[in-house]
Amino acid sequence: MATKPLNLTSRKLGSDRNCPKKATIGQLSMLEKIAVPIRNIKSRNFMVKRKQPYSLIYLLTLVIGLVIAIAPDGQAQTPDSNNPTSDPNELKPLNQADSVLSLQGGQRLVEEANAAINAAKYDVAVDKLNQARRIFNQLSNYHLQLANSFSGIDPKVFDSQRQSALNTGQLRDEATYQLALVHRAQNQPELAVPLLIQVIQSQNPTSELGQKSYQQLYEMGFVSTPISAPTPTSATPNNSPPQQ
């Protein structure tokens, strides 16, 4: 008796209860997201080896995913004309705290140095203060050069640049004084003395910072005559040539 052959082609895959149901679009999308890195790691030629054409659901899922991924970027790139930038300094790179030639950058280094001093990390504080001194010194020198260039030409620019030179010179001297105190805490008076003398030369000796610097010299025994105690003045610092 002849055996009746099995008709495999007439059997519908969806009629078998054990056959898994079709995945929804959301599930397919999730599977694609999970499978992409696996394809990249396990098989670089995955797309070449695939013989079956893409299904309509797969293509729709891919298109929807691309639209969702691109839409936020497109909206983020659209400028908002109703809300212009309120701070013009955001467009000026030298006004940023991470600039190596900015007032904010020098002040940030001083703050980091103070935090290091509080943590007794004196080597870190010395490095930060030296960097801050160099920044303030360069700024003071550059502003002074600009002021001299505009002397007799534009009084407004001259006054503005001169004041900027004074302000940054004051910050330089304060950082120098702080550095001298750190060296004294490290029991290194040979490094503190030159810095204190630089501050006195730059500042008016009757200024508060000048008197404090001389007092430090007296306490370390570098000078034997105490300074008389005149009322500290707000005299304009001398702001001598750039310090090294």
pLDDT digits (tens, 9 = 90+) for 64-100: 777 676 655 444 444 454 554 555 555 566 666 567 7
- For residues 24 and 99, give the distance between their C-alpha atoms in angstroms, rounded to a whole number: 52
> Does residue 84 lie within any of the structural domains?
no
> Does residue 52 lie within any of the structural domains?
yes
> Does residue 3 lie within any of the structural domains?
no
Residue 13 predicted with pLDDT over 60: no
Is residue 66 domain-shared with residue 117, that is, in the same domain?
Answer: no
- For residues 128 and 179, give the distance between their C-alpha atoms in angstroms, rounded to a whole number: 9
> Does residue 88 lie within any of the structural domains?
no
> Does residue 231 lie within any of the structural domains?
no
- Output the CA–CA distances (angstroms, integers) from residue 193 to 66, 121, 200, 221, in the order listed: 67, 21, 11, 10
Is residue 176 domain-shared with residue 63, that is, in the same domain?
Answer: no
The model carries a pTM of: 0.59
Residue 217 predicted with pLDDT over 70: yes
> Does residue 101 lie within any of the structural domains?
yes
For the stretch 180-211, pLDDT in tens is 999 999 999 999 999 999 999 999 888 999 99
Is residue 118 domain-shared with residue 47, that is, in the same domain?
Answer: no
> Does residue 181 lie within any of the structural domains?
yes
Parent domain of 29? 22-72
- In the chain, what percentage of residues exceed pLDDT 90? 50
Is residue 127 domain-shared with residue 200, that is, in the same domain?
Answer: yes
Is residue 209 domain-shared with residue 103, that is, in the same domain?
Answer: yes
- What pLDDT does 176 receive? 98
> Does residue 13 lie within any of the structural domains?
no
